Amino acid sequence: MRLFRFIKISHTLAAYRIPSLVSNGRFGFFNVVNLLAPFGKKGIKNMSEGERLRSALEELGPIFIKLGQTLSTRPDLIPADIAQALGKLQDDVEPITWQQAKAVIQQQLDADLRSNFSEVDEQPLASASIAQVHAATLKTGEQVVIKILRPGIEKKINRDVRLMRTLAGIAGRHVKAGVQVDPREIVSEFEKTIYDELDLQREAANCSLLGKNFRHSQHLYVPKIYWDYSKQKVMVQERINGISIKDFAALDAAGINRQRLAEKGIKIFYTQVFRDNFFHADMHPGNIFINPDNPDDPQIMLLDFGICGSLPKGHRVDLANNFMAFFEQDYRRIAELHIESGWVPADTNLEDLESATRTICEPYLSRPIEEISFGEVMLKTFQMAKRFKLIIQPELILLQKTLLNIEGLGRQLYPQLDVWKTSEPILRDIMRQHYGPKNAMDKFKENLPKWIEQAAETPMLMHQLLSKQVKPLPRHLKLEQAERQRLNKQAQQQLKFSILTAGGLTATAVLYALDSAQDAWLPSIGNSVLISGVITLYLAYRAFKK
C-alpha cells in the first residue's frame, strides 16, 4: 500500500510539474518521475509555480492540504509568491459517514449515545482534514458540539509523513541554487503542528486555559469544555451562537461596530501574548464568531484550539521591548535589543543593523492598515535576516502566523484602522501592569514565603556541602577512586606507547626501503633497520601490555 501511495504522490507531483521547482536540470530522479505524466495536467502552462503546487496539494488530500497551509505561513522557507498562493488553500473535506462518527463516539465514551445525549444531528456542522463536528444536546438540555477525530487519521498521517520525508530527502539533493528552502526542514516543521492536533484532550486543555485567562471578559468568550465527555478522539464543548466574522453582510445588518471590533482584535492579541503568554495560533476567519448582543461593544468568540503557542519568558520581554521601541521609532534600540537577545551575532555592526531596520519600518508608520502588508514587512525582515544572519526563533513562527491572520481580518473589518496608534497604548498599559514596579512588588510578596523557607534551610545545606568536602571517604570508595586513577594512568601510558609504536614502524619501513635501494657509495644501514625494528617491538609490547 505504501508503494502505491508513493506512486500516486509521485504521479501527481509530476503531472503538475512540481519537480521543476527543485530540479537542478541534471538527468536524475525527477526526470524519471516525469515519465509517469508525460503530458502534464491540462492548463498548467497558464499556472504560476504557486498555483501548480497548490493544485497538487489539494488533489493529494487533507494531509497535504495541511502541509500547504503550514507552508503558507513560512515566507522564510519558501519564495513569497508561492507562500501567497498556498494561503488560498481551503480545508473543505468530504465528511465521514454518520455510522463512522457514531462508532468513534461510542468507543471513546464507552457508552451508547442515548445514555449521554438526548439528540445528535447526523449531518456534520463542519468537516475538516483532521476532525468533523456534529451538533448535539446533552441529557441536561445543554446545547453542545461533538468534535470527532477522523477514524484511521493517525495511520494516514504517519504513512504520508514518512513518504514526505523520503521525497524531501530526494528533493534536498536537487534543490536549485539560490532557493531558500530545505524540503526536510519543511516536513519537520509540518510534523510539529500536525501531531499536536491528533489529541483532542490536548485541544480541550488549551481551550480550558484560554477560558480561564479571559473569564468574565467583555472582549473574548471561550466555550466551556465538558470534561466527562472529552477524550483523545472525542471532545464535547458548549455550542456558541454568533455571526461568522466572514459574514460582513450579517455583521452590518446586526449593527456591529466594525472599528471597535478591529481594535478589540488587536487588544486580545497583545493580551494573550504579553499578559498571559498563551495565545490562540490559528485565528483564521473560520474560527471566529461575533456575539451580536451588544453591537456597539461586540464580543469575539473563538473556536478550534488545536494550535496554541507560548514564548519563553526572555523572548516575551525582548519582543515586547522591540514592539515598544518600534512604536517610539527608536531603531537604534531595536538593533541593540536584537544583539542583546542573541537574535543576531554579537559582532553585528550596530549602525548597519539600525539603518536596515529603519529602512524596513519607516515607510509603514502612521499608515492605515489598508496601506500596510505585514506579509511584505515580514518578507523584507527575512531578507534582512539573511544579510545579518538573524536567527529566526522557532517560538516566533506561530506568533507570525497569528499576526498575518489578524492583519487580514483588520484589513477587511475596518481598513482605516491605524494599527500603530491603536497598539501603542494597549501594549504600554499591559507592560506597565505586568512588568512595572507594582508587578515586581507583587511578585516579591508572592515569592517571599518561599525565599524565607529556603533561607532557613541554607545553613544546613552549607553544612552538608562542607561536610562532603572535609569528611574522609569510606574505604571502599577510596579503593574505587584509586582503581579509577590507576586505569586512567594505564590508558594514558598505552596511548603514549601506541603513538611511539606507530612512529617506530614508520621509521623502520623508511630505513628498510633505503637499505634495499642503497647504492654502493652509501654506508650500510642494515644494522639501523635491525635496531629500529627491535625498539619498535618493545614499544608495541608496552603499548599492549595490560
Q: Are 407 and 415 in contact (CB under 8 A)?
A: no
Phi, psi of 291, rounded to the nearest 5 degrees: -80, 115
105 Cβ contact partners less than 8 Å away, ≥ 6 residues apart: 113, 146, 148, 234
Catalytic position from the list 160, 282, 304, 318: 282
Ramachandran category for residue 431: left, alpha or beta (phi over 0 → left; psi -120 to 50 → alpha): alpha
Relative to beta strand 220-221, strand 299-302 is: parallel
Instruction: With CA atoms as reference, report the closest residue to 64 among 97, 89, 40.
Output: 89
Q: Kindly compute the dihedral angle of the four CA atoms of residues 93, 98, 103, 104, in this order, to the nearest 10 degrees.
A: 30
Instruction: With CA atoms as reference, report the closest residue to 89 among 58, 63, 50.
Output: 58
3 state DSSP class of 523: coil
3 state DSSP class of 418: coil
377 Cβ contact partners less than 8 Å away, ≥ 6 residues apart: 360, 361, 364
**Chain centroid offset of residue 186 CA:** 10
65 Cβ contact partners less than 8 Å away, ≥ 6 residues apart: 57, 58, 89, 90, 91, 93, 129
Neighbours of 108 (CB within 10 A): 19
Q: Which ranges of 328-388 would DSSP assign to H, the alpha helix?
A: 331-340, 350-361, 374-388
76 belongs to the catalytic site? no
Say which residue the cell 471590533 belongs to. 261
Catalytic residue list? 282
